[in-house]
Amino acid sequence: MLVRFSKMHGLGNDFMVIDAVSQRVRLSEQTVRRLADRHTGIGFDQLLLVEPPTRPDLDFRYRIYNADGSEVEHCGNGARCFARFVRDKRLTVKDEIAVETARGKAILKMLPDRLVEVDMGAPCLNPVEIPFAAELQAPVYSLDVKGNLYEVSAVSMGNPHAVLVVDDIDTAPVKTLGPLIERHPRFPQRVNVGFMQVLSPSHIALRVFERGAGETLACGTGACAAVVAGRLRGLLDAQVKVSLPGGELYIGWRGDGASVMMTGPATTVFEGQVYL
């Protein structure tokens, strides 16, 4: 089966995007892993699938697969690429798109200069729903990792995040501590791990070790979770520039159950066809 696709990225967080509206597509975990291989496949952090919605009030269904073949709930950088893809492929002419995700409805809005604003929804802080093993909800938790204690904030943006504050983003132990926290038993569905350096109340630097993908150049939900964590700790303003290895995102959160708003770019790298 020959399938058309686009290779896209949001600040270096890269995606294979497939239109499953106008062509038939069948994916398995094995197929996703094969396509994700950067030596013998297309190579990507996540595969994004555009499907027809299951509800009449929505425009599309948005599905996300990690490079290891697992399906996940949400991806902010992917959402921006998804929005650009459906417009560029003329699957819609709308400037504001309502999409169905595994966590519910998401609103994607086209802005000038190929920027996309995504209403990421309100963050979930309830440990049971994140999910995270804790008796009471708190802005910071103590996490024992091989006998060492780390202070983390636990936030869900439709997918679980653990956020640590570090003194220096360049020397943060992302590659060593990231995978240990990702699979920590207190996070039963594994977790994305953010390492945040606060540069000012309106500017942070961030690196993210993504669940099922490793460290990526950018993580949209990770940027949102970091700003939420910083706000909960009293470190950040309501509007924050987030500097990631791949570029910058702008995140706004007023708190108190409000939606997190994310603005950033989406770029098409090339188009292709592949046998599945």
Instruction: Mention every residue, 6+ apart, whose C-beta is less than 8 A from residue 15.
Output: 7, 8, 9, 44, 45, 46, 47, 48, 77, 78, 81
SS3 of 30, please? helix
Residue 31, phi then psi, degrees to nearest 5: -65, -45
66 is in an annotated binding site: yes
| Neighbouring C-beta atoms of residue 213, cutoff 10 Å | 22
Which residues are identified as catalytic? Answer: 75, 219
126 is in an annotated binding site: no
271 is in an annotated binding site: no
214 is in an annotated binding site: no
Structure tokens that stand for 27 in this block: 């994916």
SS3 of 79, please? helix
Instruction: Mention every residue, 6+ apart, whose C-beta is less than 8 A from residue 102.
Output: 63, 64, 71, 72, 73, 74, 158
The secondary structure of 83-98 as a DSSP string is HHHHHHTTS---SEEE
230 is in an annotated binding site: no
158 is in an annotated binding site: no
Residue 250, phi then psi, degrees to nearest 5: -120, 120
211 is in an annotated binding site: yes
Structure tokens that stand for 136 in this block: 């009471």
Q: Which residues are annotated as a binding site for substrate?
A: 13, 46, 66, 76-77, 159, 192, 210-211, 220-221
Q: Which residues are annotated as a binding site?
A: 13, 46, 66, 76-77, 159, 192, 210-211, 220-221
